[in-house]
Structure 1
Amino acid sequence: MTTANMENDAPASSGDSALHRGHGHGHGSDPMLKLSISAIGIVFGDIGTSPLYAFRETFDGHHKLALDPLHIYGVVSLMFWSMMLVVTIKYVSIIMRADNKGEGGSLALLALVGRRTRNMRWSTGLVLLGVFATALFYGDSMITPAVSVLGAVEGISVYSPALSVVIVPLAVFILVFLFFIQSKGSAKVGAFFGPIMLLYFGVISTLGILSIAQTPAILTAFSPHYAVLFFVSDPLAGFLSLGTVVLAVTGAEALYSDMGHFGRRPIGLSWLVFVLPALMMNYMGQAALLLRNPLALESPFYRLAPDWFQIPLIIIATMAAIIASQAVISGAFSVTQQAIQLGFMPRLRIDHTSAKTAGQIYIPSVNWALMVMVIVLVLVFRSSSNLTSAYGIAVTGAMFIDTCLLTVLVLYMWRWKKRYALPLLGIFFLVDGAYLAANLTKIPDGGWFPLTVGFVIFTLLTTWAAGRTLMRERMRELAMPIPVFVKSAANSAARVPGTAVFMTSTASGVPHALLHNLKHNKVLHERVILLTVKIADEPYIGGDHRVEHEDLGNGFHRLVLRYGFMEQPDVPEALAQINSCGAPFKMMETSFFLSRQTLLASKNPAMPLWREKLFAWMLRNAESAMEFFRLPTNRVVELGSQLEI
């Protein structure tokens, strides 16, 4: 359980739709086919655009491979079995069963596992792993739009080499446009995602089938013995090729992250029935093309199409790349909200772009930071081929961490028999470890970028979490016991009409704002509410468990509001539903008192000085609690105080 610090660092919301709160995440009554099509549009954009560059880069990328039947068959076999082991078995069949009340993703999995392992000696290590997986996601969310859009518009050079000079400017224009429209919300555009991605997958599978028809022998590459033969004949090349083969499964984590929007069955159905066959037909088609014409390695994806279809294919692929980018950007907003709610980030300004769907949100600071980094990546690397050197480390790192969390889940929560669980987990660790190790060889050629981003964000997340904990401890130490205060203040202070709500991060002791108000104004309201908001490590809290009330006597009341980490705290709305504190709450007769802390240098700081200064900077730049909790702007009084940590 994370406490929302009303006085300085209250978390923002990570809400999903209103339907979710009332009807099992909004997908309980929707037809399976409708949900499956919607999932194709949202969930599979990243993995769906991998054919633009994955097969090409395996042969002509960071570690080049000989373009002969041994390697072509081996690579196709590796891609197929990677999809089966990593996506189908690990994520769709197993990890997606680990839903935190319907929600998925690294943070949801961390909250689920952390709830059961809180008192174990290695629980801190698990939390750090989950936080690092979140940090790596941001590196991935910067690279994905850049590599997807560049990979799509590079088809222009296949159509006309003379137009190569417009690729980078066009990619930058598309990306800038994409980030600028984020504030408008993606609800209307999202309605077209499913049909466009259906068209995209239908086109790439058709092109693949037409190529396979000319070289049907490539279908034997489904046999795993080709992958084994590849490694036996050329072990070093086989290992190094994993660094680019894994590009075929980038986006697998999105299946788990978006589970709360669509449900496990629709996502699994879409993958098995439509997306997996379409991807494999295209990869098989590219392989068959290279067997017939090695010169097509320049761009096997676009060379599958006849000349007359090049322009339509470029348009379709670019739309798919935009959709993949949109999904990653929206994912960054969602992950940021969850991190804020769970206490790993200061509150940020969050705009809701839909009155009907709380999940449609926009975080300006995250949007513009992502845009700057994505544009820098495009201008520095200038091609999808160069960017793939940076791509993969963040993805494989997050996948490896998911396997670590899955191990705890399987052995300590689901309690599978070890004779079944350990061999399966061993395979996952072997596969994920091999992919991660192969990608580490890319560090000098661009792999340093997502790692650097990951470590910077990891430092920010852990510094904020540690600083918040220290602040709460110091405030708890300095707080006066409530019974003592109520007894003395009730008899000595003048009472004035109305209600005063003092928001505090802890459900014990007297809030600093109350002490300061009494000291300076020397009055108390007739009704005094000590209000704490707590964020649970589960996505949603039922209405019956929302409010906890304690009557402290003499007009004093203690209220605790509980929210899940996917919900939007709305204090006025919650107060309007409460009838246990006397007369109903009227906003025009209610004043909200907040306290803002200023950190002072301590003689014996609990954190290194550089980290304390970093925390102080984050604290100063946190979004106002007034906006975050949707408090009426004309009813808020903010009082300052100083604190040493």
Structure 2
Amino acid sequence: MEAPEPMSHADRGYESEVEMDEVGKIKEEVKKIDPKDRKWSWAKLRRIDSLNLEAGRVSMSTHGHQSNSKMSWLTTFSLAFQSIGVVYGDIGTSPLYVFSGTFSTINDTRDVVGVLSLIIYTLVLIPMIKYVFIVLQANDNGDGGTFALYSLICRHVKVGLIPNQQPEDRTVSNYNLETPSRRLNRSEKVKEKLERSTVTKILIFLVTVMGTSMVIGDGVLTPCISVLSAVGGIHQLSLHKQVLVSGGILVLLFMVQRYGTDKVGFSFAPIIMIWFMFISLIGLYNLFKHDVTVLRAFNPYYAIDYFKRNGHQGWASLGGIFLCITGTEAMFADLGHFNVPAIQLSFSCIVFPALLMAYSGQAAYLMKFPQNVGNTFYDCIPSPFYWPTFVIAIMAAIIASQAMISGAFAIISQSLSLGCFPRVKVVHTSAKYEGQVYIPEVNYALLIGCIVVNFAFGDPIKIGNAYGIAVVSVMVITTCLVTLIMLVIWKIRILWIILFVLVFGSLEILYLSANLYKFIKGGWFPIVSAFVLTNIMVVWHYVYRERYLYELNNKVSSEYVHDLAKNPGINRIPGMALLYTELVEGVPQILPHFLSSVPSIHSVLVVVSIKNLPISKVMLEERFLFRQVNPKQFRMFRCVVRYGYNDVMEGPTEFEQQLLERLKEFIRNEQLLIEVAENDQPTAVNGSGPLVPSRKDNRVHMNESPTQQMDRVSSRMSSSGSIRSVPTTTQQEQATVEEEIKFVEAAMDHGVVYLLGEAEVVAKPHSSILKKIVVNHAYSFLRKNFRQGEKMMAIPRGKILRVGMTYEI
């Protein structure tokens, strides 16, 4: 890489990211400098883009998830306890069905030891080493999951398919782009190849969407297999009646989703703690009573010997063995509610030992009673503990189901904010946990899916065949995305990356192949459901992107706005109009289309673009970015409102108030900038002629806080020569600002009207048949049967004015 040229004193000045509130501080510092020593041109301020004025204002230390290092151990212990109830219900209930899903019959007790050895090392390698100590580090400012990995990659590499990236976004506190400098050349080469390859961008997007679809599929399969396996403890009921009881529990489970998981709160953790205590004690009881020698399974030789003796049948049984780590992905997906040390502590100290004791105890029992493999868990329970364990098992199964259902809601909410899912209603159910959401449409879809699976399969073993494919597919996708993060973001040694891929990638592909072997026996379900969901998300995102490109290519020119301001035929009526668009730059074509039908516009017009950043949260102080559209007397503003994928969109009243306050603040700052630039002409440095901004001046200091920027600018000022005196704000200028602010307030008092484009998207007449099917039929069906934009923003009907258009893409 070519090193940048050094900057001379003549070239030094404000970078493009200096905020207006820092300008005031700088002016105060300038006044303290002796006039003889001043050599500074305030024309440099002209390079400040008004959309940057709000950016970078908040100190990074006050934003985002609290740093793990700053959390007290007491807080970490509390979070670790809470995580037991939220995260580990699924993996904790796996002992209900692992051995029965692995064996149909046991002909040789040596196979029991071999399977136990495989279970032990699967638990060690994938949940413990891969997830707890590696994948958890790939979080997005404390948030985990497939879309968190995708957003993290998009933030460092321009692989997003929608071209709405802006330099201003990188000044948001949560962007946090500090990366290690080692192995930078390799990282930059990979990054350049990714950004240039459209095929790679599409592939990364498809992989992410497929992973999301599989997680949603887990939201259907987890409740079915967990509840049906737990109900299997009622031996008096036939299989048909067990299915009916399971169906009733599932209906009840989905009916209470509207209240949110936070209503149950801390009751989850004690129940799962009791569950882990029960399976640990039962495991130890069976281990010492029946056959303690099964502990030789900690020797990996017995796993190798199992494959030698069983061959193809041993490979096929991996589909059942893999069920011991279902729910592992929840450790990463639910990370946003906790922190990394809390997950590491709870899994290492409680969950992992409890699972080892449970599986060892069941193996010891099967060494003596191999004929009871069909219902191993309940048969090995001592009589006095049977019914208490059964009750706790039912409760644990419900909690395990709740965790995956909530996870499906959360990941759909993330994909929705990134334009990858049709509009649905998202209800935030908890003030304590911002990631806990409820989506009514998705809840009922999952309920229907669970009922269908429950009655169609009616057997935990068959459901397990389907369940394994969904879980291992998500793990393979996570491995691929984390490998990319290692290459581009972490920049670690290539040897460690190769080792990571070889160990975990090969192991997961081996498990995937064994699960695919059971495709006909139920494994087809997650693949078919993922295929349907992936197509829905791809169709929606494709048309969303094409629509954005259409608006970008047909945006209004600045000459049109100037002519509009001079047009006497356009009436200005009292009030404020918010014209919504997805464009983050320019004025949309919907404006002239509206004025051609109704030649009137409100006295203040704000073009609002709701933009979702590939980060979890954006602070309110950094949310609104404004720019005034010339001519100034037309009183037209552009506003980009930025949200993270975990942010809650405010109601219309609160949103209007926030927008008004930020707009008034912008007017004050913008007037200060104009006053400085107009009253002080550019001066020559050492009398050498007019100063021309250098390209080197535009380099952005992404990671600087406002304090660091202030120190940098002050040090440059002290090393410069003379500077012209700074003009002071006159009473007349202050009066102008206050008059403008009062005008905006008066417009708001007259009422706010929302101008929404009712755009019908159709394929061009000469498009291919496939494109016409996708755009004219598939997208149109999704758009008509899901929520409209005004319902998403909860805008009152009386404030909406629709403008119809047709986009040919």
TM over 0.5: yes
What are the equivalent positions in structure 2 for 1:434-513 lying under 5 Å apart? 434-492=510-568, 493-513=570-590
What are the equivalent positions in structure 2 for 1:92-491 lying under 5 Å apart? 92-117=132-157, 118=159, 119-121=195-197, 122-157=200-235, 160=236, 162=237, 164-214=239-289, 215-355=291-431, 357-491=433-567
CA contact (8 A) 1:481 1:508 kept: no
- Cα offset for 1:226? 1.2
CA distance in 1, matches of 2:410, 2:611: 19
Structure 2 unmatched ranges of 5 or more: 1-61, 160-194, 668-740
> Could you say which residue in structure 2 is the equivalent of 1:11?
none
Identify the match of residue 773 of structure 2 among 610, 614, 634. Answer: 610
- Cα offset for 1:304? 1.9
CA distance in 2, matches of 1:77, 1:419: 28
Task: Provide the secondary structure at the position in 2 that maps to 1:391.
Answer: helix
> Could you say which residue in structure 2 is the equivalent of 1:36?
80
Q: Call closer, same or farther: CA 1:129–1:573 in 2, change over 3 Å.
A: farther
Which region of structure 1 is more displaced relative to structure 2, 425-434 or 220-229?
220-229
CA contact (8 A) 2:109 2:370 kept: no
Q: Call closer, same or farther: CA 1:21–1:392 in 2, change over 3 Å.
A: farther
Q: Call closer, same or farther: CA 1:24–1:596 in 2, change over 3 Å.
A: farther
- Provide Cα deviations, 1:159-190, integer angstroms capped at 9, x if missing partner: x3x55543111100100001111112221213
Which region of structure 1 is more displaced relative to structure 2, 561-570 or 455-464?
561-570
Which region of structure 1 is more displaced relative to structure 2, 500-509 or 88-97?
500-509
Q: Which amino acid aligns with 2:389?
A: L
Identify the match of residue 575 of structure 1 among 659, 664, 684. Answer: 659
- Cα offset for 1:600? 3.6
CA distance in 1, matches of 2:586, 2:592: 11
Whether 1:52 and 2:128 are equivalent positions in the alignment is no
CA distance in 2, matches of 1:541, 1:383: 46
Q: Which amino acid aligns with 2:145?
A: G
Whether 1:591 and 2:753 are equivalent positions in the alignment is yes
TM-score, normalising length from structure 1? 0.92
Q: Which amino acid aligns with 1:200?
A: W
CA contact (8 A) 1:25 1:261 kept: no
> Could you say which residue in structure 2 is the equivalent of 1:8?
none
Task: Provide the secondary structure at the position in 2 that maps to 1:608.
Answer: helix
Q: Call closer, same or farther: CA 1:250–1:510 in 2, change over 3 Å.
A: same
Which consecutive aligned stretches of 4+ in structure 1 deviate over 6 angstroms post-superposition?
Answer: none
Q: Call closer, same or farther: CA 1:22–1:243 in 2, change over 3 Å.
A: closer
CA distance in 2, matches of 1:521, 1:354: 44
> Could you say which residue in structure 2 is the equivalent of 1:6?
none
CA distance in 1, matches of 2:562, 2:424: 35
CA contact (8 A) 1:106 1:402 kept: yes
> Could you say which residue in structure 2 is the equivalent of 1:557?
637
What are the equivalent positions in structure 2 for 1:528-547 lying under 5 Å apart? 528-547=605-624
Q: Call closer, same or farther: CA 1:120–1:211 in 2, change over 3 Å.
A: farther
CA distance in 1, matches of 2:643, 2:334: 20
Q: Call closer, same or farther: CA 1:180–1:224 in 2, change over 3 Å.
A: same
Whether 1:524 and 2:588 are equivalent positions in the alignment is no
- Cα offset for 1:115? 3.1
CA distance in 1, matches of 2:534, 2:336: 25
Q: Percent identity?
A: 33
CA distance in 1, matches of 2:301, 2:771: 54
CA distance in 2, matches of 1:353, 1:91: 28
> Could you say which residue in structure 1 is the equivalent of 2:686?
none
Structure 1 unmatched ranges of 5 or more: 1-19
Task: Provide the secondary structure at the position in 1 that maps to 2:214.
Answer: helix
CA distance in 2, matches of 1:21, 1:365: 33
- Provide Cα deviations, 1:255-310, integer angstroms capped at 9, x if missing partner: 01111111111111110100011111111110000001112213111112123332
- Provide Cα deviations, 1:370-398, integer angstroms capped at 9, x if missing partner: 00010011101112122112121111111
CA distance in 1, matches of 2:131, 2:64: 27
- Provide Cα deviations, 1:474-516, integer angstroms capped at 9, x if missing partner: 2233332244224324533111111111011103343354334
CA contact (8 A) 1:46 1:250 kept: yes
CA distance in 2, matches of 1:388, 1:356: 34
- Cα offset for 1:28? 4.6
> Could you say which residue in structure 1 is the equivalent of 2:22?
none
Task: Provide the secondary structure at the position in 2 that maps to 1:380.
Answer: helix
- Cα offset for 1:424? 2.8
- Cα offset for 1:587? 6.9
Whether 1:90 and 2:130 are equivalent positions in the alignment is yes
CA distance in 2, matches of 1:109, 1:644: 34
Q: Which amino acid aligns with 1:496?
A: I
Task: Provide the secondary structure at the position in 1 that maps to 2:425.
Answer: coil
CA distance in 1, matches of 2:491, 2:75: 34
Task: Provide the secondary structure at the position in 2 that maps to 1:88.
Answer: helix
CA contact (8 A) 2:282 2:382 kept: no
Task: Provide the secondary structure at the position in 2 that maps to 1:346.
Answer: coil
Whether 1:624 and 2:788 are equivalent positions in the alignment is yes
CA contact (8 A) 1:286 1:300 kept: yes
CA contact (8 A) 2:577 2:753 kept: yes
Q: Which amino acid aligns with 1:73?
A: V
Task: Provide the secondary structure at the position in 2 that maps to 1:446.
Answer: helix
Q: Which amino acid aligns with 1:286?
A: Q
CA contact (8 A) 1:486 1:556 kept: no
CA distance in 2, matches of 1:463, 1:25: 38
CA contact (8 A) 2:213 2:530 kept: yes
Equivalent residue pairs, number: 619
- Provide Cα deviations, 1:406-459, integer angstroms capped at 9, x if missing partner: 211112221221223312321111101100111110101110000000111111
> Could you say which residue in structure 2 is the equivalent of 1:24?
66
Q: Aligned-residue CA RMSD in angstroms? A: 2.1
CA contact (8 A) 1:596 1:639 kept: yes
CA distance in 2, matches of 1:183, 1:637: 32
> Could you say which residue in structure 2 is the equivalent of 1:9?
none
CA contact (8 A) 1:512 1:641 kept: no
Task: Provide the secondary structure at the position in 1 that maps to 2:467.
Answer: coil
CA distance in 2, matches of 1:96, 1:190: 24
Specify the structure having the higher radius of gyration (Cα): 2
CA contact (8 A) 2:613 2:643 kept: yes
- Cα offset for 1:147? 0.5
Q: Call closer, same or farther: CA 1:604–1:181 in 2, change over 3 Å.
A: same
Task: Provide the secondary structure at the position in 2 that maps to 1:389.
Answer: helix
- Cα offset for 1:25? 9.1
- Cα offset for 1:136? 1.5
- Cα offset for 1:573? 5.4
Identify the match of residue 117 of structure 2 among 73, 77, 83. Answer: 77
- Cα offset for 1:95? 0.8
TM-score, normalising length from structure 2? 0.74
